[in-house]
A and B are shown apart, each in its own frame.
Chain A
Amino acid sequence: MASAAFEEIVEDFEFLEDWEDRYRHVIEQGKAMAPLEDALKVPATKVDGCASQVWLHPVIEGGKFHFDGDSDALIVRGLIAVLRCLYNGLTLAEVVAVDARSELERLGLNEHLSAQRSNGVRAMIERIRETAAAQL
C-alpha cells in the first residue's frame, strides 16, 4: 500500500508516454526537493554501495516515518523525491510492508532496483526498511 502522495505521482506518470518524459519528470521532482543540509551529510547518513553519493536522514515521530535525502546525481535525487512520497507519513509497520519494487514498477522505474544498478536506490530502500523495522 502506498501513500496518497505517491498515488498522485502514479497518476502524473500515466500521462507520460515515453521514457524521456518520465525521466524529465523524475529529474524535476529532484530539482524541486530541498537539499539535505550539509550538517546532515555525515558518515551515519551516507548510504554505502552507491556509485554516486547518497545520504538518507530518517526521523520517526509519533510512530510515523519520515526521511530526507540527497544525492550528487540528479536522477537519484529525483528517485529520492519519489521515494519520499512513497514512504513519508506511513506508520512503521506500513513502511516495512511496502513492496518498493512493484510500486516503482507502476512508474516504469523498477530498472533502478536491479542488482546491477549501483545507483543506491536499492541500498536506500534497504536502509529505510531496516530503520523502520528496528523501531517496531
Chain B
Amino acid sequence: MYDVEKIRADFPILAREVNGKPLTYLDNGASAQKPKVVIDAINQAYSQEYSNVHRGLHYLSNLATEKYEAVRGVIAKFLNAADENHIVLNSGTTEGINMVAYSWAMPRLEPGDEILLSVMEHHANIVPWHFLRERQGVVLKWVDTAADGSLDPQAVIDAIGPKTKLVAITQCSNVLGTVVDVKSITKAAHEQGVPVLVDGSQGAVHMPVDVQDIGCDFYAITGHKLYGPSGSGAIYIHPDRMKEMRPFLGGGDMIKEVSKDQVVYNDPPMKFEAGTPGIVQTIGFGVALDYMMSLGMENIAAHEASLRDYAQAKFSGLNWLNLQGRAQGKAAIFSFTLEGAAHAHDISTILDKKGVAVRAGHHCAGPLMEHLGVSATCRASFGLYNTTAEVDQLIEALELAHELFA
C-alpha cells in the first residue's frame, strides 16, 4: 500500500508554507526535494564519518571510503547493472554525457559522421555533441516528435544510416513527459553496430530501469532529481565501451603512477574519476536510491501514473489551457500555456503567489521549443510525494491566472 501522506512526512520541506500558502511543489523535473534520511546521512557523514576517500589509511579515511564506495553497488542495483564496476560516479548527467563525448566519441568520430538525437533532448544531451560538430565536423541528425509529443521508435531506427556513429536519446522528455522505447531503439541500433547513449535524467526518476534489459551502452543519471543531493550522479557504461574510452579529467585518484615522463592510469571505473569527488553528495545519493527502492520503483511509477491520469482528466475540462504532449504512457510532466497573451512567466508568478512551484521557460530544450513553435511554457512535474489534492491546487491557481490575464 502506497501511503503518500506517510511518504510526505519523510520530506521536511513539504511542511513549509510559501507566500502564506502550503507549498505545492511541482518543479520536481528541475530538482526533487530530499527525504530526511538523506539530510540525516549528510549530517552524519560530516559530523562523524568525514575524511577524503581512497587516500589515507587512517580510520576515518577507511570509513568514508567504505561508505562512498558502497554507493557504486547501490547504483548498480538501482539500474540493474551486471557489475558495480560498470558505474562511474560523477556530478550528474551533464558530466556523464560530456565525458562520453570527450572520452569515447571525440577520438573515433570523423568529419561527416553522424550523431542521432531526438528533437526533445535536454541541452545536456545536445551541447556536448555540438562541441563535436564545431570542433571536428560531426553532423547532428534530429528525429522529430509526432503531433501528440510521442516519439515513434521506428522513426529513430529509420534515421540510422551508414554514417551514424551514436544514438543519444532521452528515456523521458523533461518537457513533455514522453517516454521513449529505448529498448527497441537500442536493439535496432546494435544490429547496425551503432552504440546507444540513454539520458536517464528523468526516466530513472519515474520508472524501474534495467540497463541490461535495455541493452544500452551508456545510461546517465542525476542524483538531485532522484531525491538525492545536488552535485551527485553516475553513468552506467557497458564494459566494451569503457575499454574504448580515454580518460576525461586528469588528476588524483585516476592514476596508479605518475612520473616526469609517463602516467599509468588506474583501472576503470576509477580511471574516469579524477580528483576528490563529491564524497558526501554521493553518500547521500546512495541513501536516496535506497529510499526509492524501499518504496519500490513499480509502486512509485503506479502512483505517478494515477496522478497523471487524474491531472489529465482535470486538464481536459479547461478549454483555455494549451497542453503540450499527450503521448500514451507519458510521465506526470505537463507543459502548458494559457489561451491569450499571458507569458509563461506571468502564469508561474501567479501560481507562485498561490504556493504552487512550477518552472517557466524553455526548460533547456531549445530545439523542442522551436519544434513546438513556442518560446516558453510552464511545466508542472510531479514526483513520488505529490497528491491529487495538489493537482486540484494547481488547477485552482491556474483558474485564477486565467481570470487575471483574460
Are B342 and A74 in contact, with the CB atoms below 8 A?
yes
Are A74 and B405 in contact, with the CB atoms below 8 A?
yes
Q: Mark B339-382, 1 if CB is under 8 A from A, else 0.
A: 00111011001100100000011000000000000011000000
Are B400 and A20 in contact, with the CB atoms below 8 A?
yes
> Can you list 24 residue pairs at the A/B interface with Cβ under 8 Å?
A19-B353, A27-B404, A27-B405, A51-B361, A51-B376, A52-B343, A52-B376, A71-B343, A72-B343, A72-B375, A73-B342, A73-B343, A73-B345, A73-B346, A74-B341, A74-B343, A74-B346, A74-B405, A75-B345, A75-B346, A75-B349, A76-B343, A76-B345, A76-B346
Q: Mark A52-71, 1 if CB is under 8 A from B, else 0.
A: 10000000000000000001
Most buried by A among B341, B349, B361, B405: B349
A31 — nearest CB in chain B belongs to which residue?
Answer: B341
| CA distance in complex: A71, B342 (Å) | 11
Q: Answer yes or no: A13 CB below 8 A from chain B CBs.
A: no
Q: Mark A17-37, 1 if CB is under 8 A from B, else 0.
A: 001100110010000000000
A74: chain B residues within 8 A (beta carbon): 341-343, 346, 405
Count A/B pairs, Cβ under 8 Å: 37
| CA distance in complex: A74, B322 (Å) | 18
B376: chain A residues within 8 A (beta carbon): 51-52
Identify which of A19, A20, A27, A52 contacts B345 (C-beta below 8 A): A52
| CA distance in complex: A119, B360 (Å) | 11
A51: chain B residues within 8 A (beta carbon): 345, 360-361, 376
A23: chain B residues within 8 A (beta carbon): 350, 353, 404
| CA distance in complex: A71, B375 (Å) | 14
Given contacts A24-B404, A74-B405, contact A119 B345 (CB under 8 A): yes
In whole Å, how far is B368's beta carbon from the nearest beta carbon of chain A?
18
In whole Å, how far is B84's beta carbon from the nearest beta carbon of chain A?
40
A52: chain B residues within 8 A (beta carbon): 343, 345, 376
In whole Å, how far is A73's beta carbon from the nearest beta carbon of chain B?
4
In whole Å, how far is B320's beta carbon from the nearest beta carbon of chain A?
15
Task: Name 17 extra pairs, CB < 8 A, besides A23-B353, A72-B375, A73-B346.
Answer: A20-B400, A23-B350, A23-B404, A27-B404, A27-B405, A51-B360, A51-B361, A52-B343, A52-B345, A73-B342, A74-B341, A74-B343, A75-B345, A75-B346, A75-B349, A119-B345, A119-B349
A72: chain B residues within 8 A (beta carbon): 343, 375
Most buried by B among A71, A74, A76: A74
- For residues 307 through 355 of chain B, which have their beta carbon under 8 Å from a beta carbon of chain A? 341-343, 345-346, 349-350, 353
